[in-house]
Amino acid sequence: MKRFIALSSMLFVCLLAQANQLTMESVSEQILQAESLHQKARTVGHGWVITLKLIEQAKAALADDQLIKADELSKRALGTALASVTQSIKEKRVWRSRKPSS
């Protein structure tokens, strides 16, 4: 029981510390980065549905003052946006390999 309380306290302290490091500005910046990357992918026809969904959820969490949740969601949005841009760059190179040879 003592061990459980100790671990829970440590987790609480960690989460508190993380929350303290986060600011509205840093999370907003992350969302903006995700939006910018998503737009980049979108203009070449590689936008992903999930990215937009995550961005919207992150914005809603931020508006609701749920910083940790907004941070987590915006990081995920950034990840999927980056993956979609990577996909668009890679596909420019490899799409021809899929067509049957003439």
Partner 1 sequence: MIRGTVCLVALLAGAGSASADPESDRQALARYFEQRFPDVEVAAHIDGAYALNAQTREQWLAMEDFPPYEFSVDDGEVLFGASFKDGSGYQDCFGDGNVKAHFPYFDLKEQSVVTLELAINDCRVASGEEPLAYDGEDIALLSAYMAFTSRDSVIDIEVPPEGLAAYEEGKQYYYSRRGQLNFSCSHCHMQMSGMKLRAETLSATIGHVTHWPVYRLKWQEIGPLHRRFKECNEQVGAEGLEYQSETYRNLEYFLTYMSQGLPLNGPASRK
Residues 6+ away with beta carbon under 8 Å from 94: none
Please, which residue, 9 or 90, has the CB nearer to partner 1? 90
Q: If binding is defined by CB under 8 A, does position 73 make contact with partner 1? A: no
Among 28, 33, 42, 82, binds partner 1 (CB under 8 A): 42
How far apart, in whole angstroms, are the C-alpha atoms of residue 70 and residue 51? 14
Q: If binding is defined by CB under 8 A, does position 95 make contact with partner 1? A: yes
Please, which residue, 1 or 49, has the CB nearer to partner 1? 49
User: Tokens 């760059």 appear where?
Assistant: 89
Please, which residue, 21 or 101, has the CB nearer to partner 1? 101
Site residues (vs partner 1, CB under 8 A):
42, 45-50, 52, 80, 83, 87, 90-91, 95-96, 98-102
